[in-house]
Structure formats: structure tokens, C-alpha cells
Amino acid sequence: MRLEVRIARRYAKALSEVLPDEKLEKVLKEIQTLLSFFDEKAIKFFKSPIIPVEKKTELLKKVLEKVEVSPELKKVLLLMAQRDRLGIIREFTEEFEKFAYDRLGLVKAEITSATELDEEVLNKIKKKIEELFGKKAEVTVKLDPSIIGGFIVRVADKVLDASIKTQLENLKRAIAD
């Protein structure tokens, strides 16, 4: 595991442990909203060893004026800024999501499909995910025409690939052997 992820996990765990259950979802949404303000340029800014910590903290404070966040989140973010760790804000968000989803009994699933999935199919897939993992599923859908047909489901570190592209590649390998 990369050092950045380990450091981000420590901050995320600390934040998730001080939050009561009823505040967890609110803070999760705040972090996700906050992350939307940080594009590649901002992440590079925060990672730069040349830029003084004071300037990075100043920028964070300006962003926090625009986005209202809970005192606990603000405290962790300012601590990260003081320790020059804002460059790992994405990793921090991902790690916090894991802790929050686990405590809330949620699982994050990503479905990649070649075409738009109708509501009935989407609900069937979601229901199956919830059965398999014993948690409520939060599903996002991505479109990728390159998979030709079918779909790919990613949940945590598990992948179910029911795409036509993969089936064709498997068939091609089987014929070649």
C-alpha cells in the first residue's frame, strides 16, 4: 500500500471515529462536495514542495468559506493543511468513504454498460448486489460502448464481467489454445 493511502487512511479513520452515526452521512456528502472543488491543478498546487504551507492553508480557508462543513471536518482539513498533507485529499476522501459506508451498512457499486440500462434491469442488479453483500447498495452507472454489450459490475475489490467484449476475448483464447 502506498504511503499516501496509509496516511490518508489515518486521517479518515480518526475523523470517522469522532463522528456519531447521525452525522456520518452529512460529513461524507460534505467531503464529496469539497473534493469537487479540487481539480488536477489544485491537487498539484497542494502537492508542490515549492509552495509554502501558509499559502496552501490560505487557499483551503477560502474554499471552506464557500462550502460550509462540519467543525470536525474543518479541524481535520486544517490539520492536514498545517502538516502539508492536502495533496492526498482524494485518497482521504476514498478512505473516509470506506469507513463511512462500512458503518452505515452501505456498499458502493459501479456498473459499466455499453448502453443505457432500463430501471428494471438496474433494480435487479442492485437487488442482487444487496443480497450478495448483505448491505444496501449505492449504484453508479458508467457508459462504455467499447464493451459491446452486457455489463461489468465492480463492488469493493470484486468484479463481475458479463460483457460481450470479455466473452469474445475468452472465446478467442480458447480457440487459440
Question: Tell me: domain 105-176, CATH 3.40.30, correct?
Answer: yes
Task: Judge if pTM exceeds 0.85.
Answer: no
Tell me: pLDDT of 146 over 70.
Answer: yes
CATH fold for the domain made of 3-102 = Peroxidase; domain 1 (1.10.520)
Cβ(147)–Cβ(117) under 8 Å? no
Band of residue 170 on the pLDDT scale cut at 50, 70, 90:
confident
Instruction: Kindly list the strands in the beta sheet with 136-143, ordered across the sheet, starting from the edge strand earlier in the chain.
Output: 136-143, 106-113, 150-155, 158-163
Query: Would you say the C-alpha torsion 34, 40, 45, 47 has a positive or negative sign?
Result: positive
How is the chain split into domains, by residue range?
A: 3-102, 105-176
Give the pLDDT mean for 110-114.
Answer: 91
Over residues 41-82, the pLDDT tens digits come to 999 999 999 999 999 999 999 989 888 899 999 999 999 999
Angle ∠(114,115,117) on CA atoms, nearest 5: 120
Tell me: pLDDT of 1 over 70.
Answer: no
Q: What is the pLDDT of residue 110?
A: 92
